[in-house]
Structure 1
Amino acid sequence: MLLPNAVILWMSFNSPEGKFNYTWHKFSLDAWKNPCSTSTMCHSIGLSLEIGVVATIIATILGTMIAFAMVRHRFKARSGINALLFLPMAAPEVVMGATLAALFFNTIGPGAMGFWTITIAHVMFCISYVVVTVKSRLAGMDPTLERAAEDLYATPTQTFMKVTLPLVAPGIGAAALLAFAISIDDYIITVFTAGNSETFPMYIFGSVQRAYPAQIDVIGSLMLLGTMAVIAVSQILNQMRTSRKK
């Protein structure tokens, strides 16, 4: 599982003979010194990060609210909404992408497609993952803790801010990280809704056809190292919390 990641990291130090960084030639730090080989690649990375952040914030807020409503309340449309939430996770991305493209074509036109159409599409399928993650956290919470706060004359706002939110925060954080990872990595739905815009996955797909510079492996390595750093910090914080409780 880790072998492809190790290969990407190793090939990022390669100096290819031609346009394609597929075979090892010689060791070089040129790609790391200039990770943005072209302005197009830098722009695509920035666009992917912007879309990922905006889509994650919106999906996390809406998904958390939906998760609370699904777990804490009983209403007639609950089962139907639950089925709709799983639809983006079960439906093929090609079908979703084509459907969204037809929707945007007939409403705003192809010329207006870009940042916001991609963001709307990403929010649509990221919400499902946020709801599932936060729901599992809420379902595992001990309801007696909130009742104890109410018995101690805490207001609903105080109970939520000092009891409920701290307990569900790890689930919300995990949901946000998952949504960001899915958003920044998506290609199929994005290519249907991008218009003239180009995200980093779209840039990589195009580069495979015309050229594959070592800088792409550098960006991939930086993403990998960043993910590992986040996981390491999370594990350290969890160990610190556990040691404090003991």
Structure 2
Amino acid sequence: MRRRNWFLFSALCFGFAFLYGPILSLIIYSFNASRLVTVWGGFSTRWYGELFRDPQIIDAALLSLRIGAVNATFAVALGTLAGLAITRFGRFRGRMLFTGMIAAPLVMPEVITGLSLLLLFVTLESVVGWPSGRGVTTITIAHITFSMAYVAVIVQSRLSSLDGSLEEAALDLGARPWKVFLVITLPIIAPALVAGWLLAFTLSLDDLVIASFVSGPGASTLPMVVFSKVRLGVSPDVNALATIIVLIVSLAVVVSGWLMIRSERRRERDVQEALAGRS
């Protein structure tokens, strides 16, 4: 038994080292004074200054953040509606097709998705004149297309485990369906919506393949700029950029996790108070 526990602990340590070791080394070498990323030349924050003086990186980062925020917001709205339709509308004509179309972007290769969206935008431009060229609009639409599928799956799983007696009790007490959704359903699935928003934002910020298909001149996202830089060799300012992204993502995960735990504890406390008042 002790040998088995030792093996499991070793496997766990090896897995974490395999996953986070390269990230840790990247963070360490972002403070390297040498221009060569494989040679340690002393501690320095030089490359962070170089990074913030690079207008190409700054413009690409701001563009990616703007596209990611818009994409995540629309993906949550559309994905929530799709999750509600699958969970609450029961069996309707075309439900199997609708469910398959929602899940298709999850398993479709990004190359196929990007190529199909490119052909769609080219056809729309030739037929109706919109969108005029490829740029921010086409990238945002493409990201919403595949991000909403992830949000729909998250919302669907949360709604499937939701206690329907709470909504039925509110309806029996005279509340209208839209009020039941706003007052009861929405607060309960709020953690799933936050998780879906963060996932959609991360997927948009990380996407390279699809954005490369549907982008145009003057609309280079951050992954596209980083990829063009590392093709000529990894530079220390790219390490600094990656360190900043890791810090921001880690902070967002910690804050969102704290908010979800706080919301869950408040909900449990409200339920206990309601049960105590009923007794």
Q: Give the alignment's TM-score, normalised by structure 2.
A: 0.81
Deviation (angstroms), 1:176: 0.8
Q: RCO (CA 8 Å, sep 6+): is it higher in 1 or 2?
A: 1
SS of residue paired to 1:147: helix
2:113 aligned to which of 83, 90, 96: 96
Counterpart in the other structure of 2:16:
none
1:60 aligned to which of 62, 76, 83: 76
State yes or no: 1:221 paired with 2:259: no
Aligned AA (2:123): N
Deviation (angstroms), 1:167: 0.6
Counterpart in the other structure of 1:12:
30
Q: Distance in 2 between matches of 1:243 and 1:39?
A: 45
Q: Distance in 2 between matches of 1:172 and 1:75?
A: 25
Counterpart in the other structure of 2:125:
108
Deviation (angstroms), 1:144: 0.3
Q: How does 1:89-168 map to 2 (within 5 A)?
A: 89-108=106-125, 112-168=133-189
Give the direction of change, closer, same or farther, for the CA distance of 1:83–1:105 in structure 2 (3 Å limit). same
Deviation (angstroms), 1:126: 0.4
Gaps of 5+ in 1: none
Deviation (angstroms), 1:239: 4.4
Give the direction of change, closer, same or farther, for the CA distance of 1:205–1:22 in structure 2 (3 Å limit). farther
Aligned AA (2:111): V
State yes or no: 1:207 paired with 2:206: no
Q: Distance in 2 between matches of 1:216 and 1:228?
A: 18
Counterpart in the other structure of 1:49:
65
Q: How does 1:163-182 map to 2 (within 5 A)?
A: 163-182=184-203
Give the direction of change, closer, same or farther, for the CA distance of 1:150–1:105 in structure 2 (3 Å limit). closer
Q: How does 1:230-245 map to 2 (within 5 A)?
A: 230-241=252-263, 245=269
Counterpart in the other structure of 1:70:
86
Aligned AA (1:25): G
CA deviation vs aligned residue, 1:161-196 (integer Å, no higher than 9, x gap): 111110111111111111110111000111011122
Identity of aligned residues (%): 34
Q: Distance in 1 between matches of 2:57 and 2:85?
A: 41
Which of the pair has more CA radius of gyration?
2
State yes or no: 1:85 paired with 2:102: yes
Counterpart in the other structure of 1:192:
213
SS of residue paired to 2:114: helix
Q: Distance in 2 between matches of 1:123 and 1:242?
A: 28
Counterpart in the other structure of 1:38:
54
SS of residue paired to 2:51: coil
Gaps of 5+ in 2: 1-18, 273-279
Aligned AA (1:11): Y
Tell me, yes or no, if the aligned pair for 2:35 and 2:236 is still in contact at 8 Å.
Answer: no
Deviation (angstroms), 1:10: 0.8
Bigger shift: 92-101 or 42-51?
Answer: 92-101
Tell me, yes or no, if the aligned pair for 2:51 and 2:57 is still in contact at 8 Å.
Answer: no
Deviation (angstroms), 1:238: 4.3
SS of residue paired to 1:2: helix
Over the residues paired in the alignment, what is the CA RMSD in angstroms? 2.0
Bigger shift: 32-41 or 89-98?
Answer: 32-41
Tell me, yes or no, if the aligned pair for 1:37 and 1:215 is still in contact at 8 Å.
Answer: no
CA deviation vs aligned residue, 1:84-111 (integer Å, no higher than 9, x gap): 1111111111111122222223332797
Q: Give the alignment's TM-score, normalised by structure 1.
A: 0.91
